[in-house]
Amino acid sequence: MITFLELLANGISIGALYSLIALGFVVIFKATEVVNFAHASLLLAGGFVVAKLHPLIGFWPALAAGIAGAAAVGALIEFVIIRRANVTSHSVLAIVTIGVDIVLVTELTRQIGTDVLALGDPWGDQVVHLGPVAIAQTRIMALLAAGILIGSFLLAFKHTGWGVAMRATAEDHETAALMGIRLGRVSLGAWAVAGALAAVAALFLCVFPTPGLDRSTTFAAIKAFPAAILGGLDSTTGALVGGLVVGITEAMMSGYQNQLSFLGRGIGDAAPFLIMTIVLLIRPAGLFGTRELSRV
């Protein structure tokens, strides 16, 4: 039972991070109808900036720089490529983002090399005991940070002019333009927000008990794809639920893999994709989605 609770706590915490990544993914899709396969590179870019800057300027300024850096990379991709690409189909743009991702990730992993970069976070490897349940302090911080970010994002999405513009654009581009909403700005904002959220997720994916930032960090972003898709690609609620489902499933499958040994080793990594496939078989638009993937 204690193992179960610990796994659940870890799953929720990791899941909250997947939710952060998936949320950015969904925001981009809603604003521009582009499936952003370059999301992993945004994440890696954010983490890389933090890793490189924290010895020079300290952790918190480095974190701010990492968030700004990832937001800038996102905005740059939108401004330089997505906005200018004069293609009829959004699927083509999705493939373009795969190319962008390969270029960025290749360059960043070349910079990182074989190192494992520490991010210089102040939490270290302390463990908090809640009764018999032991949880790493970093996991609690991750859950807190993700919760605060997701909460403020949803409030902004619901109540600010920016949120109304985003939702109007998501629902009907042309009519939004008729209202004088600047679609370019909405799209730029979406990419920047997605980058910023990914950078925060990168930080918490690279702290204890993970050794640090290395080339495998992008795999975490890849697990956020099934989170976004099983929740429904155009639903913010879906991104949150999907992230948690993926996080908890992964933690449970990895934690109990000795009992699940008939499924083979490493089932935890494959589990998110299994769940996604099952969900899509039953609900083709995802749990909360309104658009089927065939329309992507």
Nearer to other proteins, 49 or 82 (CB): 82
Nearer to other proteins, 47 or 238 (CB): 238
SS3 label, residue 129: strand
Nearer to other proteins, 106 or 175 (CB): 175
Smallest distance from other proteins to CB 186, Å: 10
Cα 186 from Cα 204, distance rounded (Å): 28
Burial class (CB in 10 A: 0-12, 13-18, 19+), 140: middle
Nearer to other proteins, 17 or 193 (CB): 193
Smallest distance from other proteins to CB 284, Å: 20
The DSSP letter of residue 266 is T
Site for other proteins, rule CB under 8 A: 88, 161, 164-165, 167-168, 171-182
Cα 16 from Cα 156, distance rounded (Å): 19
Contacts of 241 (CB under 8 A, 6+ apart): 231, 287, 288
Cα-flanking dihedrals φ and ψ of residue 133, to 5°?
-90, 125
Smallest distance from other proteins to CB 103, Å: 29
Closest CA to 28 of 272, 209, 225: 225
Smallest distance from other proteins to CB 22, Å: 20
Nearer to other proteins, 27 or 42 (CB): 27
Smallest distance from other proteins to CB 253, Å: 35
Smallest distance from other proteins to CB 176, Å: 7
Find the helix or strand (DSSP H, E) in which 100 lies.
Answer: helix 90-112
Cα 170 from Cα 132, distance rounded (Å): 47
Nearer to other proteins, 178 or 282 (CB): 178
